Every structure is written in structure tokens, then in C-alpha cells.
Amino acid sequence: MKIQTIILMCLLTAIYPASAEDDKRPNIVIIVARELSRKDLSCYGGAHASPSIDRLAKQGVRYETAWGMLDAKLSRRTLLTGRYPCHDAATPLFPILLEKAGYRVTTSANDPAKSLSFIEQFKEDSPFLLLHLDDTEDLDVDRLVGKLVTSIDGKRLKDNTVIVVTSDHGGGDSKADIGAHIPFIVRAPFLTKGDRVSKDVIDLSDLFPTVLSLAGIDVPGDLKLDGRTMIPSLRGSDDPFEKRNWIYSEVGDFRMVRDWHHLVDTEGNFHDVENDPLQEKKVSPLDKQAPGRRKRLQMILDRFSD
């Protein structure tokens, strides 16, 4: 399936009839920066100043452990369909589902002006979804985020608008934890008072169910999803049964899964990525917990083998 075609479709059919006046469903803004690495953002300890994104993180939740796929295209596909690429399943895209449900939807492929004017011209007749796919240089996206946030807040939409800033790929070519890591920041004032760094593990497949539940849309009955809604995590829920306990990434035939501590891949690697993020060491045979952790992750990884 060609992602771009579908996105184009969305662009052409952007205007939908208004819903009821007292529609309290939140607005959703998703900014997916192309190849934006955590190393680029100062809130992740990166080298570059990213004041706008940092401020957003301060007002929301910043995820320490978020994975995309090991390839930007695959990441976007996962994001839009809620399914891992390996399934190769035909699934609806969430912007379309939202549109059907009465959302005003705009998808902007690297067109900051369009995105900004969409916000500026927004009238509060129905909630909106803005999906902005950014393709600029690193620091431009920070500026864009700053402008979008200023505009949203200026229109007093802050309290009812969810803003997600993430990336489709951030780690070069390595088939490892660092290759899958992406920044992931969410501001949602009605879910969290913010200023939190979450250690919950998430991946891009979680965005689809999250958006659906924010919009109050039931997942279609025949639709299988890989991710889970992040709303409990955003609320700061303690309960692991409401959250992910592993995340997944792939490229080509290569697959890997991890949890809070360890990583297992289809090439037989097993690492304690919490203490060895660059996967340089073997796990010590004295680590009594490791074999159990490995078997569990292997069990999950095996679900994705052909």
C-alpha cells in the first residue's frame, strides 16, 4: 500500500460537515518529524537547543523508551495503521476513521504554512485532527512546534487539544535499540498536569488506538491492532495491565522486542539495554533474572516469526 497516495486522498477531502455544538471531543495535533533523533533534542539530553519542544515536554509527558520501526517509511505505516508492517494487512487509516466520525481533518505533508493557517482559521464547530508530516531541517521543526503551540494556546484551545511530537526514525542504520529509539512527547492538559518523564514503554503502533479512544471511536470489530491506547499511561496510571509490557521494531526480515530492561532480536542477540544501551556486552551468566526475561521476550518475538 502506498502511504503517500492515501495521504493525498485525505488532503483532497479535508472538509467535512460540522457536528453538534457541544462536541467536547479533543482536538488532536500530531507532528511527525522526519528522521528526528533524540540526540537532536535538549530535553532528551541532546546537543541542540530545542526550546519549543522542551517547553512542550515540560507541560506534558516525555517518554524515555519509545520505538519506531527501523525505517522511516515503515514507521509512518505503523503510525497510520496501528499494525506492524510484518502483518502486511490492509487496514484503515486513523485520519479517515476520524473524519467519518465528524472530525475536521487536515493532513499536511511538510507544509508548515498550511498547518498554521488551519489552526488560525479553525472555528469551534467541530473537533479537528491535524497530522503534520515534517521534512525540514532539525531546528525548523522546533520553530514550527513553537508557532503551532502559540497559535493553539492563543485561541484558548490548550485545555482541549492533544499535541503529539514524535519522529519516524531517529537512529541511523543500526539494527538495535538505538536504531529504533524515537522522541515521543505528548501534551494533553485534560489527562495530565504534565512535567513528567514516563518510563512506560511505547511504540508507534500505540498512536492509532490512542487517537481512536481520544475521539471516542470504537475500534472496528474486525480490526486487529498491535498497539494499545496510551491514555492510562498519559494519566499516570500505576496499573501495568493497562499498559504495554514490551515493544517491537523491524526492518526487512529483522525483528526485535524489548521491555524495560532487555532486548531480544531475530539474530539471537540478548542485551541488558538498560545498563548497556549500545549493546556492547553480553549479559552476565551471574544475572539470575536474565534467563527468565530472555525467554519471555523470545516468546513474544516468536509471535512475529513467519
Interface residue list for another protein (CB under 8 A) = 199, 236-241, 245-246, 259-261, 288-289, 291-293, 295-296, 299-300
Is 21 or 238 the residue whose CB approaches another protein more closely?
238
Is 138 or 177 the residue whose CB approaches another protein more closely?
177
Is residue 162 within 8 A of residue 187, CB to CB? The reply is yes
Which triple of cell numbers denotes residue 273?
539495554
User: Residue 235 Cβ, how far from another protein at the closest point, in Å?
Assistant: 12
Question: Helix 72-81 crosses helix 207-214 at what angle (to 10 degrees)?
Answer: 30
User: Residue 66 Cβ, how far from another protein at the closest point, in Å?
Assistant: 16
Q: What is the CA radius of gyration of the chain?
A: 19
User: Residue 171 Cβ, how far from another protein at the closest point, in Å?
Assistant: 23
User: Residue 168 Cβ, how far from another protein at the closest point, in Å?
Assistant: 27
Is 147 or 296 the residue whose CB approaches another protein more closely?
296
Q: How many CB atoms lie within 10 A of CB 280?
A: 7
Task: Cite the DSSP H helix spans in the chain.
Answer: 3-12, 51-59, 72-81, 94-100, 112-121, 138-154, 177-180, 207-214, 231-235, 290-301
Is 48 or 295 the residue whose CB approaches another protein more closely?
295
Is 154 or 240 the residue whose CB approaches another protein more closely?
240
| Amino acid at site 63 | Y
User: Residue 292 Cβ, how far from another protein at the closest point, in Å?
Assistant: 3
Let me know how long the chain is. 306
Which triple of cell numbers denotes residue 204?
508507534
CA distances from 189 to 21, 57, 151 (A): 22, 12, 16
The single-letter DSSP state of residue 132 is: E
